[in-house]
Amino acid sequence: MAEIVQRACAGTMESSDVYVEIEPGREGIQLHLESVVRQQFGEAIRETVRAVLAELGVENANVSVRDRGALDCVIRARVETAVRRGRGNN
Amino acid sequence: MKGKVVGSIREAVALAGLKDGMTVSFHHHLRNGDYVLNLVMEAVAQLGIRDLTVNASSLFDIHLPLLDHIQNHVVTGIQTDYMSAALGREISRGILERPVEFRTHGGRPSDIAQGRTPIDVAFIAAPAADPMGNCSGKYGKSACGSLGYAYPDAMYAKKVVVITDNLVDYPLLDWSIPESYVDYVVCVEEIGNPKGIVSGTTQITRDPVGLVMAQHAAKVIEYSGLLKEGFSFQTGAGGASLAAAKFLKDIMLREQIQGSFGLGGITGYMVDMLQAGCFRSLLDVQCFDLKAVESIRTDPRHQEISAMHYASPSHRSAVVDSLDVVILGATEIDTDFNVNVHTDSGGCIMGGSGGHSDTAAGAKLSMIIAPMFRARLPIVTDHVTCVSTPGKDIDVLVTQGGIAVNEKNRELKERLTAAGLPVLDIHALKEKAERITGKPRQMPHGDRVVANVISREGALQDVIYSVPDEE
């Protein structure tokens, strides 16, 4: 299991990118999503974020995802980077 | 000399006899720098006139004060060829009593000339005018170049008011619109903000995806069989379209091909092509940048044309009928090659046909250039949200991931395939994009019709529905 010990972020607010912020949490995964394609891809984005967190063993964290129309692979990379930064020294 | 000069816009509105329920018209050469529409509508509102229809060749975000006039029932109808996104978003919420009537840049003058959309009072923003109303777009601090879209208004409106910030001695030479059409002249401090009227030169895209698309586009033209002596061409002002023009210019110079004319909305890049000898002439209904304004003022090969001459389907002929190739954009294109340029993928109004349908109908080769997807939304869909230009008028779609040719143009498909270009079926292109983006969920639309899209021939082509409020 990976513990998020510090606030961390990854990504940008550029079009076709996503800005992910992660902070320590105690009540499972609290996911906040804003997206320019929320109506078309909102569910798909939530699934991807939760899947990446699960793969990396993150069970408790507050995650804010501000999506500007990023592809799935971009979302995965940004979430993973945010998690690695939030785990502290690795 | 007093001539036809009156003291204020308000006075001109009153003298012109504007009353409740009438139609006023505007042209859009001052683009997002235009002050005239807002000045006139403010005067009209102060006079207590209501229930007006605004017929404008295009509307921009600077015209957002229209929203107040709609709320106060000063404006209850809009006829236009294009509406920018901030205004479109509000219209899409259903704030206007009657649906917007969208026409094309050719359909508008055609319908005005045939009396289908009569104009009671036309207001013409003129960067230079004399006291009798001879006016031009080429001179003055608010110079915009061509006044092409204002011609039908001047010729067919019952009353014509010229509004200028540059009143010159009679006679103004090199006029666009002559005094014989003009009833009143008003001189104001400023008709527009030069920064919004003409942009600096739009930069050619440096985005690698845009450059690949542009290279494909230039090659499609090169191998289409149309690129030869006397070739004619129109392109948009988007970054990728301009890059395509630049690659085309290189090919034309290398092969020593001189075209007959470049058409459009003219940018500095088309002026460069004229000066380099790629074309014998430019035919210009609207200038997009300072270089185009300078060129139309000084170079006799660069000619102003009226909206009728540009694109009307009901006049004896129009330049689009003689056009070889046009490069156009799209927010969506479906597997039948129908193109949407009115709404975004969510159904919200953010544009309009402009000359899209007219040039597509006239040109021998109509090319759509677009990325496979924008911000995760695929360009190719099963059915476009709004049919702006029917698929029968589109020949080819160029993306970074391949080139799809409309089945109706078998010869082009064979030529491009033989040239080794990446031709693929439009359904395959759609799947290719969706493998990268995922399949978007269908967007629900509201139940109210907020706009009617009228074809260039005057028939109802499609409707645009309201967009439900975000929860």
Cβ contact A41–B376 (<8 Å): yes
- Cα-Cα-Cα-Cα torsion B379, B385, B390, B395, nearest 10 degrees, comes to 10
* Residues B174, B281 share a domain: no
| Residue ranges making up the domain that contains B39 | 5-57+105-197
Contacts of B54 (CB under 8 A, 6+ apart): B23, B24, B25, B26, B37, B41, B66, B75, B77, B78, B79, B80
User: SS3 for B318-359, per residue?
Assistant: CHHHHCCEEEECCCEEECCCCEECCECCCCCECCCCCCHHHH
**Does position A19 have pLDDT exceeding 80, yes or no?**
yes
A41: chain B residues, CB-CB within 8 Å: 376, 438, 440-441
Q: Is residue B220 part of a domain?
A: yes
- Cα-Cα-Cα-Cα torsion A61, A67, A70, A72, nearest 10 degrees, comes to 40
Q: Is B48 on the interface with A (CB under 8 A)?
A: no
* Residues B348, B286 share a domain: yes
Give the residues across from B192 on adjacent strands: B34
Q: How far A62 CA sits from the closest chain B CA (Å)? A: 23
Interface with chain B: mutation pick from A33, A36, A38, A40, highest number of B CBs within 10 Å = A40
Model pLDDT, residue B202 = 67
- Domain final residue, candidates B197, B223, B243: B197
| Main-chain phi, psi angles of B180, to 5 degrees | -60, -15
B376: chain A residues, CB-CB within 8 Å: 16, 37, 40-41, 69-71
Write out the two tokens for A58. Answer: 């993150």
Looking up residue A49, the CATH number of its domain turns out to be 3.30.230.10
Model pLDDT, residue A1 = 73
Give the residues across from B177 on adjacent strands: B135
pLDDT band at A72; cut points 50, 70, 90:
very high
B85: chain A residues, CB-CB within 8 Å: none
* Residues B258, B172 share a domain: no
* Residues B39, B161 share a domain: yes
* Residues B322, B278 share a domain: yes
Residues lower than pLDDT 70 in chain B: 199-202, 470-471
- Domain final residue, candidates B178, B197, B216: B197
Q: Is residue B384 part of a domain?
A: yes
Contacts of B326 (CB under 8 A, 6+ apart): B233, B234, B235, B359, B360, B362, B363, B365, B366, B367
C-alpha to C-alpha distance for B354 and B333, rounded to whole angstroms: 17
Cβ contact B377–A44 (<8 Å): no
Cβ contact B443–A37 (<8 Å): no
List the single residue in B with minimal CA-CA distance to A43.
B441
Model pLDDT, residue B197 = 84
Q: Is residue A60 part of a domain?
A: yes
pLDDT band at A90; cut points 50, 70, 90:
low
Pairing relationship of beta strands B159-164 and B373-374 according to DSSP bridges: unpaired
Cβ contact A40–B375 (<8 Å): no
ipTM of the complex: 0.89
Q: Is A71 on the interface with B (CB under 8 A)?
A: yes
Q: Is B420 on the interface with A (CB under 8 A)?
A: no
C-alpha to C-alpha distance for B277 and B420, rounded to whole angstroms: 29
Q: How far A79 CA sits from the closest chain B CA (Å)? A: 17
Q: Is residue A64 part of a domain?
A: yes
Stretch (H or E) spanning B123: strand B121-126
* Residues B326, B188 share a domain: no
Over residues B401-439, the pLDDT tens digits come to 999 999 999 999 999 999 999 999 999 999 999 999 999
Q: Is residue A71 part of a domain?
A: yes
C-alpha to C-alpha distance for B180 and B169, rounded to whole angstroms: 17
* Residues B396, B275 share a domain: yes
Model pLDDT, residue B2 = 83
Size of interface A-B (CB pairs under 8 A): 36
B145: left (phi over 0), alpha (psi -120 to 50) or beta: left
Q: Is residue B458 part of a domain?
A: no
* Residues B176, B42 share a domain: yes
Q: Is residue B121 part of a domain?
A: yes
Q: Is residue B386 part of a domain?
A: yes
Looking up residue B372, the CATH number of its domain turns out to be 3.40.1080.10
Q: Is B374 on the interface with A (CB under 8 A)?
A: yes
* Residues B170, B129 share a domain: yes
Q: Is A66 on the interface with B (CB under 8 A)?
A: no
Cβ contact B376–A37 (<8 Å): yes
A69: chain B residues, CB-CB within 8 Å: 374-377
Q: Is residue A26 part of a domain?
A: yes
| Residue ranges making up the domain that contains A38 | 8-86
Model pLDDT, residue A2 = 82
Interface with chain A: mutation pick from B205, B207, B332, B376, highest number of A CBs within 10 Å = B376
Write out the two tokens for B147. Answer: 């006044």
Q: Is residue A70 part of a domain?
A: yes
Q: Is residue A2 part of a domain?
A: no
C-alpha to C-alpha distance for B77 and B70, rounded to whole angstroms: 8
A66: chain B residues, CB-CB within 8 Å: none
Q: Is residue B329 part of a domain?
A: yes
* Residues B397, B309 share a domain: yes
Report whether the peptide linkage leading into residue B390 is cis, meaning its omega lies within 30 degrees of zero.
no
Q: Is residue A1 part of a domain?
A: no
The SS3 call for residue B411 is helix
- Domain final residue, candidates B197, B221, B242: B197
Q: Is residue B80 part of a domain?
A: no
Interface with chain B: mutation pick from A16, A38, A39, A72, highest number of B CBs within 10 Å = A39
Closest CA to B137 of B255, B283, B269, B28: B28
C-alpha to C-alpha distance for B256 and B260, rounded to whole angstroms: 13
Q: State how many domains chain B has.
A: 2
Q: How far A9 CA sits from the closest chain B CA (Å)? A: 21
Q: How far A77 CA sits from the closest chain B CA (Å)? A: 15
Give the residues across from B462 on adjacent strands: B453
Q: State how many domains chain A has.
A: 1
